[in-house]
Amino acid sequence: MAAPAANRALITASLLMATLMNSLDMTIANVALPHIQGSVSASQEQIAWVLTSYIIASAIMTPMASWLAGRFGRKNLLLVSIAGFTVASMLCGISNSVPEIVGFRLLQGVFGASLIPLSQSILLDINPPERHGQAMALWGAGTLLGPVMGPVLGGWLTDQFSWRWVFFINLPIGALALLGVWLFMTNAVIDIRKRFDFLGFAALIGFIGALQLMLDRGPSLDWFSATEIRVYLIVAAICLWVFVIHTLTVENPFFDRRLAKDSNFVAATFFAMATALLMFSSIALLPSMMQGILNYPVLTSGFLTMPRGIGSLIAMLVIGQLVGRADTRIILGVGMSLTALAFWQMIHFDLSMNEWPMVVSSFIQGFGIGLTFVPLTTLAFSTLPAELRPEASTVYTLVRNIGASVGISIMQALLVNSTQSAHAGLAARINPADPVVRADMPAMFDPGAVPGLLALNSEITRQATMIAYLNDFRLMLVVTIITVPLVFLLRPAKAPPKDLHVAAD
Task: Check whether residue 220 and residue 125 sit in a common domain.
Answer: no
- Candidates 49, 107, 119, 100; CA nearest to 83 is 107
Using left for φ > 0, alpha for ψ between -120 and 50, and beta otherwise, residue 353 falls in: beta
Is residue 302 classed as helix, strand or coil in its secondary structure?
A: helix
pLDDT of 502 > 50? The answer is no
Contact (CB, 8 A) for 476 and 278: yes
Residue 204 sits in the same domain as residue 271 = no
CB 339 within 8 A of CB 476: no
DSSP 3-state of 85: helix
**Which pLDDT belongs to residue 496?**
46
Is the model more confident about 431 or about 251? 251
pTM of the model: 0.79
Say whether both 39 and 137 belong to one domain.
Answer: yes
- 331 vs 320: CA distance, rounded Å: 12
State the residue range of the domain holding 453.
256-505
Which among 194, 222, 241 is the end of a domain?
A: 194
Whether 209 and 188 map to the same domain: the answer is no
Shared domain for 333 and 467, answered yes or no, is yes
Average pLDDT of the residues in 172-178: 91
pLDDT, position 87: 95
Amino acid identity at 370: G
Residues 173 and 261 in one domain: no
- Non-local (6+) Cβ contacts of 129 within 8 A are none
49 lies in the same domain as 128: yes
The per-residue pLDDT for range 185-197, each reduced to its tens digit, is 876 555 555 577 7
Residue bearing the bigger pLDDT, 242 or 377: 242
How many Cβ atoms from other residues are within 10 Å of residue 427's Cβ? 13
| Residue-level pLDDT at 96 | 87
Phi-psi domain of 195 (left: phi exceeds 0; alpha: psi -120 through 50; beta: other): beta
Domains contained in the chain, number = 3
Say yes or no to pLDDT of 497 above 50: no
How high is the pLDDT of residue 405? 81
Please indicate whether residue 162 or residue 137 has the higher confidence score (pLDDT): 162
Report which of residues 423 and 66 the model is more confident about: 423
- Identify the residue with better confidence: 498 or 141: 141
Rg, C-alpha atoms of the chain: 24
Decide if pLDDT at 61 tops 80. yes
Sequence-separated (6 or more) residues with CB below 8 Å from residue 492: 327, 328, 329, 379
Residue 262 sits in the same domain as residue 225: no
Predicted local confidence at residue 478, as pLDDT = 92
Q: What is the CATH number of the domain that holds 70?
A: 1.20.1250.20
Whose CA is closest to 362, among 323, 329, 314?
Answer: 314
For residues 50 and 184, give the distance between their C-alpha atoms in angstroms, rounded to a whole number: 35
The CA–CA distances, whole Å, from 59 to 83, 89, 246, 249, 486 equal 19, 18, 20, 24, 25
Average pLDDT over residues 298-319: 83
Cα 494 to chain centroid distance, Å, stands at 30
Rounded Cα distance between 296 and 381, Å, is: 43
CB 33 within 8 A of CB 155: no
Domain end point (choices 149, 172, 194): 194
- Are 275 and 211 part of one and the same domain? no
| 296 vs 503, residue with greater confidence | 296
What is the arithmetic mean of pLDDT over 230-256? 87
**What's CA 205's distance to the chain center, in Å?**
18
Strands (E), 411-466: none
Which of 56, 474, 121, 106 lies closest to 276, judged by CA?
56
Residue 127, pLDDT > 80, answer no
234, 253, 272 - which closes a domain: 253
The per-residue pLDDT for range 78-121, each reduced to its tens digit, is 899 999 999 999 999 998 888 898 899 989 988 988 887 778 77
Contact 414, 465 (CB under 8 A): no
Nearest to 375 by CA among 499, 492, 498, 503: 492
- Give yes or no: residues 89 and 208 share one domain: no
Rounded CA-CA distance 204/207 in Å is 5
Q: How confident is the model at residue 446 (pLDDT cuts 50, 70, 90)?
A: low
Tell which residue, 300, 341, 17, has the closest CA to residue 155. 300
Name the average pLDDT for the chain: 80
Predicted local distance difference test score (pLDDT) of residue 69:
76
DSSP result, 136-161: HHHHHHHHHHHHHHHHHHHHHHHHHT
138 & 246 share domain: no
Residue 500 banded pLDDT, cuts 50, 70, 90: very low
Q: What is the mean pLDDT of residues 269-286?
A: 84
Alpha carbons 419 and 60: distance in angstroms, whole number: 32
- Would you call 496 helix, strand, or coil by DSSP? coil
Residues 245 and 346 in one domain: no
